[in-house]
Chains A and B, each alone.
Chain A
Amino acid sequence: MQSLKEGLLNRAFSHIYVEKRAMEYNLTKEILKRLEGSKIIEIEHYKDVFSRANQDFYLQKKSPKLILAVKNNNLIYKGAEVCEDFGNKHFYYTSIMMNCIYDCEYCYLQGMYTSSNIVIFVNIDDYFKEVEELLKMHPVYLCISYDTDLLAFEGLTNYVREFVKFAKVNKDLTIEIRTKSANFSLIRDIEPQDNVILAWTLSPDGVIEKYEHRTPNLKRRVESIKEAVDRGWRVRLCFDPILYIKNWREEYRVLVEEVFSKIDADKIYDVSIGLFRVSKDYLKRMRRQRPDSIVLNFPYDSVEGVCSYDKELSENMIGYVYSLVGKYVDKKKIYI
C-alpha cells in the first residue's frame, strides 16, 4: 500500500493560481494578503489548471492548491433530481466555490471533478445579480454550499456573511447553507434571518473518524449547532449520507441520542435523512481515485444510473433512522 512520509508534500495552498481578470477583485487581494507566503501563479482561465487531464484527485487532496477565478455564465443551476428539495418548487443551487478542504471518502465531488484543487469565484456580485433576475419571476430556494463547504471557508471568504446580508434584503429568497464545519463562531455576530437555513451534516463519530477526514468531530459540530439554535437560527439536521457500517444500528442510535441530548429538538427547523447514493459514472471514477476505500467498494445496487444500497437494506436503514429521529422530532418535519 501507499507510503507518503510526513513533510514530503507541500502544505495546503502552497500555490495560488489567479486568473488575470480576478486580480483586481478585493476578495482576491484579501485572500492573497491573508495567505502571504504562498506562490502566486497568474493564469488565463481557471480551467487551464482545474480541468487538466489525468490529475490525481487523491494526492492533490493532501496538498491542495487554491484557484481564484471569475465566472461569467451559468452561475445558478436548477436543483438535481437526487437532491432533496424540501417541498420547494423553485429549487436551485450555485457553486460559488468548487471543492472543499475536507476529505470525505464518499464525497461525490471525487467523481464529478477531475481535480481536488479548490476554486473560489471572486465575483460574488454577479451571482447576486443572477439570483435577482430569478427573483423577478418567482421565489427562489437556493442551496449555496453543495459542491463545497462555505462555512468551513468563512475565515477566508466571508461568503456566508455576504449571502446572509443578501437574503436579508431579498425575502423571496430562501438560502440553505450545508456544512460539516464547527465555524459558527465566525458568523455568531450576524442577525439570524428566517430565510436562511444552516444545514449541518451529522454522522456517527466512527464514520467521521474513518471516512470524513479532516472534518470536526461530532462534539464540535453539535456545539456549533447548539449555539446557532440558541441564537435563533433556522437549523436543519442532515443524517445524510447514512452508511452501512459495522454495527450501523448501534452507531446511528448513539448518534441520534447524542445529538438530541444536547440540542432541543423543538427548536430544529427540520431534519433530512438520506442514504449514500451516487451516480454510477461518478462511483466508477471515485473507486479509481480510492481503490482501497471500504465505503466506495461496497457492492451497491444500480437503479437507473444511481448506485445505492439494495431495496431491502435501504428500507431497513432509512426506517430505522427515521424511527430514531421520530422519537424527538415531529414526523412532519422529517424529510426522506
Chain B
Amino acid sequence: MIYISTAMYIEAQEFIKKLGLKRDNSINKFEVFKNDEVVLVITGVGKVKSAVALTYLLARQEITPNDLYINFGVCGTRDRQVSQGEVFLCNKIMDNDTKFTFYPDILFKHPFKEAGIETFSTVVVEEKAQEPLVDMEASALYQAASVFFKPHQIFFIKAVSDYLNTENIDKDFISNIIEKNVDKVIEWLNHIKDNFHYGREVLTQYEEELIKKVSENLKMSATMENEFKQLIVYYKLLDNDITELLNTYLKVECKSKNEGKMHLAELKRRIVK
C-alpha cells in the first residue's frame, strides 16, 4: 500500500483524479481518499494538524515492509536559482524550533533533485532558513511516519512554489505546478511498487498455525515453542518438507512439559545430525 499525505486539498486533487481515489466515508475526522493500492489523507496545514492526521490514519492500518509513505506538497525556497515548479526529494529535514534533524534513507533511485527542507511553525517571510527548502509540516510528519515506517519507506517530495513571498501565490498557480509534476511522481511510485517486494518470512501462516498446534500437543512452554519454531525454520531453510515433519508431531500428545522436552531434544538431534 502507498500512503500519501498532503496539507491541502489543492495538493491532493491531481492524485485523486489520476489515481481514481474515492472518498472513504468511514473516516469523518479527516478527508481520506483511497483505492486498492493508495490511501491519501489531507492533513491540514502545520505541524500538529499534519502529525495528528497522519498518525490517526496510520494507526488504523497494518503497515508492512512493502508499504511506502509519501508527503507531497508545495514549499518555499530562499534560493533564487531554483525555478518555481521544480521538484525535490528531501534528504534532510530540520525542525526550525528544535533544530532536530531527520534523515530519510535514500535507498531507491529517483528522478528528482535532492535538497534539505526546514519546517517552520509559522509562515516564513524572511530569508532566515538554514536549509534550501521551507515548509510547515515535514519535521512533524517524519516523526509521525517513523513510528510506523522504516526510514527508507518515507519520502518527502516537494514542488517549489515561491521564494518565501507567499502573498503573490494564487490557487491556479499552485494547481498548475502540481499538475505538471504529479505524473512523474505517480510513475516513480508505480515503479517502486512493482519492483519492490520485501516479504522475507520463512514460514507460511499455515505452517505457523501447525507449529502452534504441535506446541499445544507437546505441552510446550513459550521458550520451548520458540526453540521448536527455530528448529523448524532451520529445517525448512535446508530445503526439507516441514509439513511432513509437523504432521508427525501433530499425532503426538504429551502429558507433561518434561515429555515435550524429550521430543524437542530428539528433534534437535534429528535435525542437527
Contacts and interface: CB of A to CB of B under 8 A. Distances in A.
Interface stretch (B18-26, B45-53, B173-181, B196-204): B196-204
B106 A3 contact: no
Contact of A41 (B116, B191, B230, B231): B116
Contacts of A293: 237
B107 A9 contact: yes
Contact of B109 (A9, A39, A65): A9
A133 to B, nearest CB: 34
A9 B108 contact: yes
B103 interface: yes
A56 B196 CA distance: 14
Task: Give the residue among A17, A43, A49, A299 with the most B Cβ atoms within 10 A.
Answer: A299
B220 to A, nearest CB: 15
Interface residues of A, number: 38
Contacts, number: 100
A2 B234 contact: no
Contacts of A294: 234, 237-238
A44 to B, nearest CB: 7
B34 interface: no
Interface string A30-68: 000000000101011000110011111001101101000
Contacts of B272: 244, 298-299, 313
A192 B234 CA distance: 45
B202 A291 contact: yes
A15 B151 CA distance: 15
| Chain A residues touching B, majority SS | loop
Nearest to B116: A41
Interface string A72-108: 0000000000000000000000000000000000000
A1 B200 contact: yes
A8 B108 contact: yes
Contacts of A17: 103
B199 A2 contact: yes
Given A59-B107, A313-B272, A39 B91 contact: yes
A158 interface: no
A15 B106 CA distance: 8
Nearest to A11: B109
Interface string B100-129: 010101111100001010000000000000
Nearest to B268: A299
B192 interface: yes
Given A8-B195, A299-B272, A52 B230 contact: no
Given A52-B103, A54-B150, A292-B237, A299 B231 contact: yes
B212 interface: no
Contact of A7 (B105, B109, B233): B109
Contact of B107 (A7, A10, A244, A297): A10
A14 interface: yes
A52 B151 contact: yes
Contacts of B109: 7-10
B114 A39 contact: yes
Contact of A1 (B191, B192, B199): B199
A5 interface: yes
A62 B271 CA distance: 32
B101 A44 contact: yes
B229 to A, nearest CB: 10
A2 B114 CA distance: 28
A52 to B, nearest CB: 6
Contacts of B231: 299
B146 interface: yes
Contacts of B150: 54-56
Interface in A13-37: 14-15, 17
B79 interface: no
Contact of A63 (B92, B107, B195): B107
B227 interface: yes
Nearest to A298: B234
A8 B103 contact: no
20 contacts: A4-B195, A4-B197, A8-B109, A8-B191, A9-B108, A10-B109, A14-B106, A41-B92, A43-B92, A48-B101, A48-B103, A55-B151, A55-B152, A60-B152, A290-B200, A291-B201, A294-B238, A299-B230, A299-B234, A299-B268
Interface of B: 91-92, 101, 103, 105-109, 114, 116, 146, 150-152, 191-192, 195-202, 227, 230-231, 233-234, 237-238, 268, 271-272
Q: Which 9 A-B pairs have the closest CB atoms?
A: A5-B195, A3-B197, A297-B234, A63-B107, A294-B237, A8-B195, A56-B150, A54-B150, A297-B233
Given A2-B198, A59-B105, A298-B272, 15 more contacts: A2-B197, A2-B200, A3-B196, A8-B109, A9-B108, A10-B107, A41-B91, A43-B103, A48-B101, A55-B152, A59-B107, A62-B107, A63-B107, A294-B234, A297-B234
